[in-house]
Structure 1
Amino acid sequence: MNMLVTAAGVMRVAACRTLGVQRLAPLAAVVSTLIACGAGSSAAWSATAPQAAHADASDDSAFASFDLGMLKSRGIDPKVADFFGRAPRFSEGTRRVTLTVNGRSQGNVEVHFDAEGHVCFNQMLLNQAQLKTPDSRYKSNDSSATPDEDCYDFVAAYPQTEIVLLPNREEVSLLVSSDALRPFSEDVNVYQTGGIAGMFNYEILGLNTQFSGSSSRYYSTDTELGVNAGDWILRSRQSYSAQNESERFQSLYTYAQKTFAPIASTLQVGQINIRNSVFPGEAITGLQLVPEAGLQPKSLGGATVQGIAQSQARVEVRQSGALVHTSLVPSGPFTLPNVQLLNSFTDLDVLVVESSGEEHRFTVPAASLVQTSLSAPGFSMAVGEVRTFGESTMPSPTLVTASSGWLLGQSSTVSAGLMVSDNAYRAGAWTLGTKLGTAASVSARNTLTYAGEEDVMGAQGSLSISSNLSQNINVSANYTRQSDGFRSLHDTVQAPNQDRTNPMTRDQYGIGLGWNDARLGSLTAGYSRSNRFDGQTSNHVNANWSKSFKHATVSLNLSRDLGGRTGSGNGAEQPDQARERNTAMYLTVSVPLGGNRSVSSFASKRDGNTRFGTTFQDYSSDFASYRLSTERDAQQQSFSGDVNMLPRFAQASLGYSRTGADSRTYSGQLRGGVALHGGGVTLSPYPLTDTFGVAKVGDVSGVKLNTPGGPVWTDPWGNAVLPQVNAYGSTPIEIDTKSLPRNVDIQNGFKALSAGRGSVSTLDFPVIKSRRALLHVTDEAGNTIGKGASVFNAQGDFVTTVVEDGKVFISNVELNDALTISLGEEQSCNVSFMLPDEQDLNVYFETANATCSTS
């Protein structure tokens, strides 16, 4: 195999596998020879100076010289040297290259080059580069410039354009003026729309804990049904949980949605959560019109919840009484990223249920959920009947709310709105967001309310600040305060409570610090405090330090409830003697073992109970990863293990833990999605978002595709679900060519989707099933054909050259074509060989002996 590395024909094969193209032009087979023969040719192939799109051939400085005598001795036409000697360029045809615009990567795209190596600016390239389309007078007059669509003379339309061609790196770099860039509003028109498909997401969790003489069972199912049709989105999500004899079912939402791109707004109808920028996101049954988040520079994302579990535990996150997230976490510090919220103005209640049944609760203050990024300007309105997830017996009022946002300059937005309901509730609010340069941002919010049934008025205000004090230090602070008479709409639909003021929060605030140093590691810390009207207070602090050393990473997590005060019967404040201060520390030392394997040891302490343990983790396989852990405290020893599997069409995990001699817990989780589309039913290992697609790779199964949502694989019919397509953005989809069967070639293994919200995108990756052979050619006397001889097909077209030891590499149609080899001095011979009827799929190419006869 070593001798084949330098062979031009086999170099072509390696390029096919790497670049994902069927085959390169015959001219590419001689490039290595050109570089070997050229004087200064290396410079010609590695030049990075900007080149005009239409180079002046008369500029001798752009030429590289070659040893023409050596080229002739190797059977290469000297005209080829003239082509490549002018400047760095690609040979004629369509090539998949990396595209950059003004230094920013735009992914990979197919670019057509004409006979002179000029770039064809067709509509596909303009869309990928997000460049304006020149008017019709700049269209090419050469109808054969590209096989699919017209080219534009982009350089003539925008003379400041500079093009850098880097054939050695398969890269095209563009430098364009700002007036050539496509405005965002114009870019909306290029997004794919339409399509129809059904979807089903599921997540099933089960826990079974056995104690001495008793047991406990917990099951939960989260499902989502939906249809995408004509850019309309229909979704319905349900949650069911059962613990021992107690069961609970909740319908979280059922709605229809459509985005109207010309006005950058989204309409929702059904059971929805208000997405008003100035009011809490109450759950209603009705309709609303809101700015489309995908068409705005910033949008509201999920929250991040952090905590510490003393064992394998179940974490439940609730907001306004609704279960918005549940998952299993291993022992130690945990982070739940992107927890989808009903709104960003209501506290999160977090419950951690240990494997022993012990429960820990903590609250994520609403103030910490405030986004300092600028809210999207635009008009919002909603009308509907309030929905409650709790046990409220109060009648559900009907409400109407409207708000609007405005952009103040380039760095500030302001929003204001009103809300009224038929239970005599009135509210008005405003928000302000601003960025102070590039290092700081501030957001403020103020709300005034009147609850007519109680005849009380109140106000609430909040302020959030974040700043980068230096490259290594960032700080944040938030503060919220409300008066005794402040009521949210959610408060007015709860059952009357004579002691109502007790649970009301007067104010809450928090501060955060982040620090990073190359020698001392990174540190994050936060402090929060909450004060109630009856005198109760709570204080909480958390901190994390981590440092990577040469052979290990050390981290320390701290979480402590600092205690507070509780109100007495006469309203006086007293030190809280009854509250148990909850302190948790977790020290971890992790050592990588290579190949995505690691072993870590830890020591944890909570309220005087110290535990030690060791964990081994292996994430080296796409199909399965596993974790084994053993722990010990003063009383008992425990063991736990889990395996997470990705069997291509679902995610599954199994877990087992044992504490002491009489406590055992078994767990299982299954998660994924299903798409029903025109090509059939296709399973996905990930839940499907509101915008998704389907890719088809011929009828080849088991092909791996890399997507933003994670790797997916084709089913037996060649279909794969694209579970997460970025609405109004670019979504790269790339085939892992190593997963292709050895007899399959693909013309282009990369495509970029540009889809509107609610569309169902379809991608087709055409494949060609190939057969390849490496021939050892001898003449009639058994002598090896000389190196460098040219091989031609029946039409007289050049196919390849003979390399060392008379070896010739051919594929596909060449296997059945009549081949001849030029022996020089107008002599040639005919090649004859025989391959088995059945192709050997276990090898990349087959080998055979061939005879070249002059008769």
Structure 2
Amino acid sequence: MFMVKRTFTICNDSLAIKKPGALAGGLLLLMVFGHAKGSEPPASHPESTKTTWDIEALKRRGIISEQVENLDKLNEIPPGENLVDINLNGAFKTSFQVNVNDQGIICFTPALFDALGISVSDSNPKEGCYDWISEQPGTSVAWQSESQTLSIVVPPDVLQQESNGDYGGIAGHINYNYYSSMNKSAYQKQRYSWLSLSSGINISNWMIRSQQNVQDNQGEISTTINSTYVERYLSSLNKIFQAGEISTRNTLFPLGQLRGFQLYPDDALDSNSATGVSVDGMASTSQARVEVRQYNQLIYSTLVAAGPFHLPNIPVQNRNAELDVTVLETSGETQQFIVPAIQLMNTSQPENRGFSLSFGKLQDQPSDDAKIPAILTLNKNWQPLNRMSLRTGSLLSGKYQSVAAAMNGQIASVPGQSFSLQVLLAQDHYQHKKSAQVRVFSNHALTKNLSLSLGASKNTPGYASIEEASLRARRKDKWSYSADNSELNLGFSWNSETLGTLSFTHSLTTSYPDNDRWRYSMLTWNRRFENGLQLTTSASRAKSRDRSNKSLNINLSWPLGEKRIRHYYRSSNQRNIMGSDINLPLGTSNNLQLAVEENSKDRNRSLQSSLSSDLRYTNVNTSVQLDNQHQRNYSINGNGSLVIHNKGVTFSNSSVQDTYGILSLNRPLAGVPVISPSGTSWTDWRGMALISSLSPWHDNAIDVDVDKLPKNVDVSNGHRTLRPARGSVKQVQINMLSGTRLLMTISLANGQLLPKSSTLWIGKRLVAEAVDEGLAFINNADSKGTFHVKIAQSTDECDIQYQLKDATDEDALYEQLSLTCQ
């Protein structure tokens, strides 16, 4: 409840009151005599009714009825439209534009009931101003003018039952990622550019998604459009529905994209959406592009710096097929390696219990659609034991059937150990063969600092997935194909406080019928010293029958204030490079890197410069490289997103996900940081910020960074907690209190200062009281206005007019004005 703080003392004579102002000094007496007519029963909602005072008792103590009226005015919400924060039963609920009539009654509308989550019967009147508070027993309302907050208390039985998440919202978005480079020499010029777009529309939790890729290689432009589908969470089935070009989810079978539909559990109801699949490798040149493919489709692409790289949470289609990784160097060279499917089992997470279903035809099959087989998959997840999960599945097609089972978990009697086991049986009528596949993976924490992982996969001769088997049959050249025979994977990691961290991975793949072998090994060692010195070394080798890649990388770096200096050596494909670089932070949003290096093979020396800029609403990186052989390389890349909604277009430097939100301030204030689970975003020139990702079915804390607000700006409540349903677009309204604070020195027409406890009014609304002789302070003032003044201890009244300058100092806590009351 709003309170006015004043100081006063009570003398031995209870009738003698020493008060700095009659209004302020009467507070204690009001507390004593406020219930002088105690014989009357209290109102059921006293905050919405006018308090009755014992006027005669107050007059005997020097308090007149007008001052009592002023106290009542302090707790009245002003008439008209008011954007306020609403607390419901003691907790913040929403910000809403409420309508108050001239009698001070809050008009309840269907939109307000929906915003508060209050259930009302159809018999309630909706015409005119509906005073629901006066009709509903057990309710009350209180107005807090300083924080512009309306506190409403209602019985719990009128509240709607809370769902797992809030539904609704309409918006469209585009995530973009682009890269363009030009290589110039004395003899030629080469250009290469690509643009990747991921676009979508959310309409009442229905989602439409599509991916577009455009590539320009020396004027040859190619365009692809794929992964176009519609999606929605079906609460009646507790499943996600997808239809279109879909990647089969929650399946044990190696399936690429299908043209069809599927139903599967929403993993966000139990866990986060991170895949846990990572790719580690090495790049030889700066701005190298890494492409990750699965089922011959590009699923991830990014730029990396020279040296070892770690790419977390690769968006795999499923964990049943290997990843083909290509590193495209800026020099034109290419490196390739495989992440075996057995290694993906290491990141397997417990799936939601329940069933999954998919039906459709294989995508990207080079044949007539009529010859592509239709596929039906059914999968079921179980949890027979506390730390054990079981998955079963079946795949049905005209000439191919398969069943599979997988188990993963931990053994309670063997702490620190986990395992995964999967068995698949296939009946292949294309090749008239029965085949099987067995995959196993285990993790072992041998000691506190030493861990070991082992994995193996074995296929019987003739095993082929339905995609491979049907393709061979249609092409009628099945003997020209090879198939995986076995996969082995070994990895260990050792951590020592003295020697640092050492890790090693090795994988071996053999194939039918030629027994060709592919090997990949990687060894890394990291050591950090007390003075900030850091040593990182890594070596990798990839070898098959017809090609071999070796690479070695050594980095030595140390801090120098905010800068960091690094010396490095890189060896790859008979190229030996030595160099040094320095990272120079330029403020909080830019980073400049300068590097010099030499290729010992041809004595080619180069100078490189790159600038990375976080421009709040997009990310831009530029790079320039020059060498002593008159070769130049220029490149630019960037990424970000934009959302089109009912209030316009909003930009962000982060990618928009399935569920997101838009925050709006009630005044155009740019550059205000908004902290959310997806990171920090900033309001634009209209006071709007894009919250690019929200976790569905979970609480998401959204906070306006009030420490970064201008000093002349306040916020009534800068915190929100959102719990959206999947596919929602949440609109968040933050009520910024008008930043204008007025400290007024007021004189009367005769030159005397305005007496203490005089009151300032706008219409029937009390806005301020003179806290001292001639001094009054007002929050949230308009740029110009008129106050009607009731002079204390007098029947005289006068008016004050003011107008602020157009340019105000945002760092000033208040505006000082000297005014005369006429």
TMscore range, shorter length: 0.7 to 0.9
Query: 1:189: how far off?
Result: 1.0
For the Cα contact (< 8 Å) 2:215–2:221, is it kept in 1? yes
1:243 maps to 217
Distance 1:847 1:300 in 2: 51
Query: Residues 408-807 of structure 1 correspond to what in structure 2 (within 5 A)?
Result: 408-422=384-398, 424-437=399-412, 439-469=416-446, 472-492=449-469, 493-494=471-472, 495=475, 497=477, 500=480, 502=482, 504-515=484-495, 517=497, 519-533=498-512, 534-561=514-541, 580=548, 582-594=550-562, 597-606=563-572, 609-634=575-600, 635-704=603-672, 705-774=674-743
Which of 161, 164, 169 in structure 2 is aligned with 1:195?
A: 169
**1:247–1:330 CA distance, 2 compared to 1 (3 A):** same
- Structure 1 residue 383 and structure 2 residue 359: aligned? yes
- Structure 1 residue 348 and structure 2 residue 313: aligned? no
Q: 1:709-741: CA deviations, max 9, x gaps?
A: 333333333333222121112222222335545
2:90 maps to 120
1:150 maps to 153
Could you state the TM-score of these two structures normalised by the residue count of structure 1? 0.71
What SS class does the counterpart of residue 443 from structure 1 fall into? Answer: strand
Query: 1:246: how far off?
Result: 5.4
Query: 1:800: how far off?
Result: 8.7
For the Cα contact (< 8 Å) 1:348–1:365, is it kept in 2? yes
What SS class does the counterpart of residue 461 from structure 1 fall into? Answer: strand
**1:807–1:482 CA distance, 2 compared to 1 (3 A):** farther
Could you state the TM-score of these two structures normalised by the residue count of structure 2? 0.74
Distance 2:419 2:505 in 1: 18
Query: 1:247: how far off?
Result: 5.0
2:51 maps to none
For the Cα contact (< 8 Å) 2:802–2:819, is it kept in 1? no
Distance 2:819 2:712 in 1: 25
- Structure 1 residue 216 and structure 2 residue 190: aligned? yes
1:231 maps to 205
Distance 1:768 1:111 in 2: 15
Distance 2:275 2:340 in 1: 17
- Structure 1 residue 339 and structure 2 residue 314: aligned? yes
Query: 1:792: how far off?
Result: 6.6
What SS class does the counterpart of residue 368 from structure 1 fall into? Answer: helix
Query: 1:851: how far off?
Result: 8.9
Q: 1:454-484: CA deviations, max 9, x gaps?
A: 2222211112223445554444332222222
Query: 1:232: how far off?
Result: 0.9
Q: 1:141-176: CA deviations, max 9, x gaps?
A: 45237845436799xxxxxxxxxxxxxxxxxxxxxx
What SS class does the counterpart of residue 263 from structure 1 fall into? Answer: coil
Query: 1:275: how far off?
Result: 0.9
For the Cα contact (< 8 Å) 1:772–1:844, is it kept in 2? no
Distance 2:485 2:772 in 1: 84
For the Cα contact (< 8 Å) 2:742–2:817, is it kept in 1? no
**1:701–1:490 CA distance, 2 compared to 1 (3 A):** farther
**1:291–1:848 CA distance, 2 compared to 1 (3 A):** closer
Query: 1:636: how far off?
Result: 1.7
Distance 2:294 2:613 in 1: 31
Q: Which amino acid aligns with 1:671?
A: N
What SS class does the counterpart of residue 163 from structure 2 fall into? Answer: helix
**1:790–1:236 CA distance, 2 compared to 1 (3 A):** same
2:334 maps to 359
**1:834–1:257 CA distance, 2 compared to 1 (3 A):** closer
Gap regions ≥5 residues in structure 2: 9-17, 32-46, 48-84, 96-117, 119-135, 144-149
Q: Which amino acid aligns with 1:199?
A: H
Distance 2:726 2:552 in 1: 44
For the Cα contact (< 8 Å) 1:277–1:375, is it kept in 2? no
Q: Which amino acid aligns with 1:144?
A: V
2:124 maps to none
What SS class does the counterpart of residue 339 from structure 1 fall into? Answer: coil
Identity of aligned residues (%): 21
**1:506–1:499 CA distance, 2 compared to 1 (3 A):** farther
Q: 1:754-778: CA deviations, max 9, x gaps?
A: 1111122111112232312456799
**1:648–1:558 CA distance, 2 compared to 1 (3 A):** closer
Q: Which amino acid aligns with 1:277?
A: T
**1:776–1:632 CA distance, 2 compared to 1 (3 A):** farther
Query: 1:670: how far off?
Result: 3.3
Q: Which amino acid aligns with 1:413?
A: S
**1:800–1:755 CA distance, 2 compared to 1 (3 A):** farther
For the Cα contact (< 8 Å) 2:767–2:778, is it kept in 1? no
For the Cα contact (< 8 Å) 1:821–1:831, is it kept in 2? no
Q: Which amino acid aligns with 1:316?
A: E
Which of 276, 296, 320 in structure 2 is aligned with 1:321?
A: 296
Distance 1:738 1:838 in 2: 25
Q: Which amino acid aligns with 1:715?
A: D
**1:477–1:832 CA distance, 2 compared to 1 (3 A):** same
Q: Which amino acid aligns with 2:525?
A: W
For the Cα contact (< 8 Å) 2:712–2:740, is it kept in 1? yes
Q: 1:654-674: CA deviations, max 9, x gaps?
A: 222234423322212232222
Q: 1:636-693: CA deviations, max 9, x gaps?
A: 2122222233333332222222344233222122322222221123333333212222
**1:583–1:204 CA distance, 2 compared to 1 (3 A):** closer
Which of 796, 803, 809 in structure 2 is aligned with 1:841?
A: 809
Q: Which has the larger radius of gyration?
A: 2
Distance 2:20 2:577 in 1: 74
Query: 1:254: how far off?
Result: 1.0
Distance 1:330 1:751 in 2: 38
What SS class does the counterpart of residue 490 from structure 1 fall into? Answer: helix
Identify which range, 810-819 or 607-616, moves more after superposition: 810-819
What SS class does the counterpart of residue 312 from structure 2 fall into? Answer: strand
**1:780–1:228 CA distance, 2 compared to 1 (3 A):** closer
What SS class does the counterpart of residue 615 from structure 2 fall into? Answer: coil
1:267 maps to 241
Distance 1:278 1:832 in 2: 78
Q: 1:63-115: CA deviations, max 9, x gaps?
A: xxxxxxxxx999998999xx9xxxxxxxxx9xxxxxxxxxxxxxxxx9969xx
Distance 2:368 2:276 in 1: 27
**1:781–1:725 CA distance, 2 compared to 1 (3 A):** same
Q: Which amino acid aligns with 2:294?
A: Q
Gap regions ≥5 residues in structure 1: 1-23, 35-71, 84-92, 94-109, 114-118, 126-132, 134-138, 155-185, 567-577
Distance 2:714 2:365 in 1: 55
For the Cα contact (< 8 Å) 2:139–2:155, is it kept in 1? no
1:277 maps to 251
Query: 1:510: how far off?
Result: 2.5
For the Cα contact (< 8 Å) 1:439–1:467, is it kept in 2? yes
**1:813–1:220 CA distance, 2 compared to 1 (3 A):** closer
Q: Which amino acid aligns with 1:358?
A: E
**1:415–1:742 CA distance, 2 compared to 1 (3 A):** same
Across the aligned residues of Structure 1 and Structure 2, the Cα RMSD in angstroms comes to 4.6
